[in-house]
Amino acid sequence: MIPGRDQDRVIIFDTTMRDGEQSPGASMNLEEKLRIAAVLEELGVDVIEAGFPIASNGDFEAVKAIAGRAREAAIAGLARASRKDIDRAWEALSRAQRPRIHTFLSTSPLHMKFKLQMEPEAVHQAIADSVSHARKLCDDVEWSAEDGSRTEHDFLCRCVETAIKCGAGTINIPDTVGYAVPEEFGALIRMLMNRVPNIDKAVVSVHCHNDLGLAVANSLAAVGAGARQVECTINGLGERAGNAALEEIVMALRTRQDAMPQKTGIRTEIITKASRLVSTVTGFPVQPNKAIVGANAFAHESGIHQDGMLKHAGTYEIMTPESIGLGRSSLVMGKHSGRHAFKAKLKELGFELGDNAIEEAFRRFKDLADKKKDVFDEDLVALVDDQVVRSNEHIRFVSLQVFAGSKGPQRADLELEIGGETKSTTATGDGPVDATFKAIKQLFPHEAHLQLYQVQAVTAGTDAQAEVTVRLEENGKTVNGQGADTDTLVASCKAYLHALNKLLTKRRKTAPAALSA
């Protein structure tokens, strides 16, 4: 028990940008990570794991930039148990108000023998060395026993005791492969609380993967047994089947205070915003029946349920939609709304834009209001997101005319501005989307492969804006592009161009000579 700590307060450690980014296809660029970090701070996350600084220059720069901007949250960077990793993590983190070095090493017999090819004694020594080294650099050190749930208890207790002795203030027990079941995992945490002599000097944390769909249940069982930090991700993003979903952990604790008295510091009304941002940036849609943030989580279809809801919302709703920030879509403004009201609305939605960007957004809002009868908050968010995404692009969308329908071939007449020069072409294809993408390829030849094409409506109704995600792969690198427009094909074209522009940025960073396409 750490003196002065509220014993019921659970620390929320978000690893969307580290473990979450390890999901194949979920890579995020610096600008996207900064936007996610800002929303995580607004959400009230206690610790943001911003990346794995030694993994790549991109990760290093992202951790450094987030560390420099974060105001409230502690910023963690991951490091293996080596001096080189730990020094690099510290280099990225040192500007943070509250830096945390998170170092880890596998402790299970399987991992030690086959992955590390190290004897247990050598592992134990490496834990002492790495934690001591990290602690010389940073006051806040977390140590994780990778594959902790499959580690022999005596050895785990010894490693944990040593890590605490060497200065780790947080001890994290991961269920790395999502193998544990709740009763057993809770018992493991209880065993550590009872057997490790200096456990009262550290916060016990858990990090559960969802391979058996038990990540949230295991995390909550651990909290019941004394864990006071939970590592989790927005929308449950993460390696393989993902990590415990932040929104599920937080809302379970909030909704069932009668059964679980522990609480978090999360501003739950920001959950929907965070979920949508992560889904848009990664191109990973949220399944409609996903707990808390799925599109159907607060929808009532059957007549009996609707009747019950009209009589008393509590009949079929255990949480209010407002509690997760899912207010009724509010009508924003129409085409007669003025600049002043528009500016105020953007501020309310959390956008701080410069004068030029506001002018541009206002002009685009007027265009949208001409095309679409009702403009909702979600439309404005999509519009501004689209604008932010498109600034500084090498390849810019100018116009698109598509001939579609049952009497093919479908044709796309496309005009783009490439490096300041306007170019146009016509292409035919197997459907209007194919024709559009082929036209892009004619104007800007490239070898990237399309891995994902996904369309979502921003709001209800046939005049809704379409939000399109395109994932492109080139030489093992994947990027996601987004585009929004009332015309699905224009949105598709913009999303493809956004992804292509991101690939160009990546190429520019790695091989300047390869830029001529």
Asked if 478 and 386 count as a contact pair (C-beta separation under 8 A), the reply is no
Restricted to residues 295-314, the positions that interact with Zn ion (CB under 5 A) are none
189 Cβ partners below 8 Å, 6+ apart? 173, 204, 206, 221, 222, 225, 226, 227
User: Which of ligand KIV, Zn ion, none binds 144 (CB below 5-8 Å, type-dependent)?
Assistant: ligand KIV
Closer of 19 and 385 to Zn ion (Cβ)? 19
User: Which of Zn ion, ligand KIV, none binds 268 (CB below 5-8 Å, type-dependent)?
Assistant: none
3-class DSSP assignment, residue 84: helix
Closer of 222 and 503 to ligand KIV (Cβ)? 222
Spatial separation of the C-alpha atoms in residues 275 and 106, rounded to whole Å: 31
DSSP 8-state secondary structure symbol assigned to residue 55? T
Closer of 156 and 440 to ligand KIV (Cβ)? 156
Name the minimum Å distance from CB 180 to Zn ion. 13
Measuring CA to CA, which residue among 105, 218, 241, 260 is closest to residue 171?
105
Asked if 89 and 133 count as a contact pair (C-beta separation under 8 A), the reply is no
Among 10, 18, 19, 218, binds Zn ion (CB under 5 A): 19
Sign of CA dihedral 309, 314, 315, 321: positive
Closer of 32 and 239 to ligand KIV (Cβ)? 239
Name the minimum Å distance from CB 392 to ligand KIV. 34
The DSSP-derived string for 288-350 is: TT-TTTSTTTT---SHHHHHHHHH-GGGT-SS-GGGGT-PPPPEEE-TT--HHHHHHHHHHTT
Closer of 210 and 465 to ligand KIV (Cβ)? 210
Name the minimum Å distance from CB 130 to ligand KIV. 13
Asked if 501 and 475 count as a contact pair (C-beta separation under 8 A), the reply is no
Closer of 19 and 379 to ligand KIV (Cβ)? 19
Closer of 21 and 385 to Zn ion (Cβ)? 21
Name the minimum Å distance from CB 151 to ligand KIV. 11
Name the minimum Å distance from CB 51 to ligand KIV. 12
- The stretch near Zn ion (CB under 5 A) out of 12-20, 308-316, 324-332, 458-466 is 12-20
DSSP 8-state secondary structure symbol assigned to residue 199? G
- The stretch near Zn ion (CB under 5 A) out of 17-25, 160-168, 396-404, 483-491 is 17-25
Restricted to residues 174-193, the positions that interact with Zn ion (CB under 5 A) are none
User: Which of Zn ion, ligand KIV, none binds 104 (CB below 5-8 Å, type-dependent)?
Assistant: ligand KIV
Name the minimum Å distance from CB 45 to ligand KIV. 17
Name the minimum Å distance from CB 300 to Zn ion. 36
Site size toward Zn ion, by CB under 5 A: 1
Measuring CA to CA, which residue among 22, 12, 27 is closest to residue 451?
27
Measuring CA to CA, which residue among 81, 248, 73, 104 is closest to residue 174?
104
Measured over all CA atoms, what is the biggest interatomic distance in the chain, rounded to whole angstroms?
77
Closer of 22 and 454 to ligand KIV (Cβ)? 22
User: Which of ligand KIV, Zn ion, none binds 385 (CB below 5-8 Å, type-dependent)?
Assistant: none
* Cis status, amide bond into 109, omega within 30 of 0: no
- Residue 59 main-chain phi, psi, to 5 deg: -65, -45
Spatial separation of the C-alpha atoms in residues 342 and 344, rounded to whole Å: 5
Sign of CA dihedral 350, 356, 359, 365: negative
Residues in touch with ligand KIV (CB under 6 A): 19, 104, 144, 146, 172, 174, 176, 207, 209
Name the minimum Å distance from CB 275 to ligand KIV. 21
467 sits near Zn ion (criterion: CB under 5 A): no
Closer of 229 and 486 to ligand KIV (Cβ)? 229
Asked if 484 and 365 count as a contact pair (C-beta separation under 8 A), the reply is no
DSSP 8-state secondary structure symbol assigned to residue 474? E
User: Which of ligand KIV, Zn ion, none binds 186 (CB below 5-8 Å, type-dependent)?
Assistant: none
Question: How far is C-alpha 441 from the geometric centre of its chain's CA atoms?
Answer: 30
Name the minimum Å distance from CB 108 to ligand KIV. 10
User: Which of ligand KIV, Zn ion, none binds 52 (CB below 5-8 Å, type-dependent)?
Assistant: none
Report the residue closest to Zn ion, judged by CB. 19
Instruction: Give a three-class secondary structure readout of 387-431.
Output: HHHHCCCCEEEEEEEEECCCCCCEEEEEEEEECCEEEEEEEEECC
User: Which of Zn ion, ligand KIV, none binds 23 (CB below 5-8 Å, type-dependent)?
Assistant: none
Measuring CA to CA, which residue among 47, 54, 110 is closest to residue 83?
54
59 sits near Zn ion (criterion: CB under 5 A): no
Closer of 209 and 471 to ligand KIV (Cβ)? 209
Name the minimum Å distance from CB 144 to ligand KIV. 4
Closer of 174 and 186 to ligand KIV (Cβ)? 174
Name the minimum Å distance from CB 285 to ligand KIV. 24
> Which stretches of the chain bind Zn ion, using CB under 5 A?
19
